Structure 1
């Protein structure tokens, strides 16, 4: 999983906002990006009375909903059958970089979004794979690379350099 790079942080730290803010930089470089987001919640994409939900409820293992603009694959899982990150990455079309929000236990390099002003403990002291921290406040006591959370283009460039170095 050489082209995979994770974004972690406590709930409400701004992980999704950072990923969204980095996308224009990746696009301006002509890079294709895929994003995998882990959730601990049951996912609902359509109301229960819509066709794809009816097919899933009737027992279909997979349902694809397609339009001229995009498509979605719904895959019903057996209980305790959560997919591994490596399996999800393999399902993706080839891209330049896969950003992963969550999947803290996966063995991938990652960046933590950390806001000291929130008063919440950071992840990086307990997670070896955190190679850098994107923060809105300079950190004095860390051995990790610190990036300015308010400069998403710099964070994106750092991630791309990390991905390129791993693929070299």
Structure 2
């Protein structure tokens, strides 16, 4: 399975670029999945729902299924967060998995950068970042794309992963 990451500091456009890339790749006929890392507690469930009640009662995993989609929620119950490789192994095969976040993992990535965020480039000290997508010109020894040039970024990623 081919993987490629979108990384960067908070408020630099990662999620917007991910959304546009998924749209672009699927429009080109590629199957795509995504993994999003959250640094904070999150819940995809809602108190009062049957599935939430199952989790609160102590279920390790709760699968929610319908005619449109299914979701599997796994409670860690004081276990360590699983490594990215373990999460990727749980995905069904697709052409490309886009990974948002996980900036310290060794997979290839493109970094999002916005002047307004006022943060330094991660790519300066990280060779796993193969290119930068920015709203301003940056000087670095890797390709730099306009943050809004989704087609060019998509083409770069497809070449990088061999699709």
Q: TM-score, normalised by structure 2?
A: 0.94
CA deviations 1:34-93 (Å, max 9, x no partner) are 100000111212222111111111111100001111111000003251011111111101
Question: Which stretches of structure 1, 4 residues or more, deviate above 4 A after TM superposition?
Answer: none
Answer whether contact 2:8 2:103 (CA < 8 A) is retained: no
Correspondence for 2:49? 50
Residue aligned with 1:73, SS: strand
Correspondence for 1:160? 158
Structure 1 CA distance, aligned partners of 2:31 and 2:54?
Answer: 32
Matched, 1:125 2:151: no
Question: CA-atom RMSD, angstroms?
Answer: 1.4
Q: How many matched pairs?
A: 163
> Which sections of structure 2, spanning at least 5 residues, go unmatched?
none
* Alpha-carbon spacing, 1:89–1:154, altered in 2? closer, same or farther (3 Å): same
Correspondence for 1:102? 101
Matched, 1:19 2:18: yes
What pairs with 1:54-65 in structure 2 (closer than 5 Å)? 54-65=53-64
Residue aligned with 1:45, SS: coil
Correspondence for 2:89? 90
> Which sections of structure 1, spanning at least 5 residues, go unmatched?
none
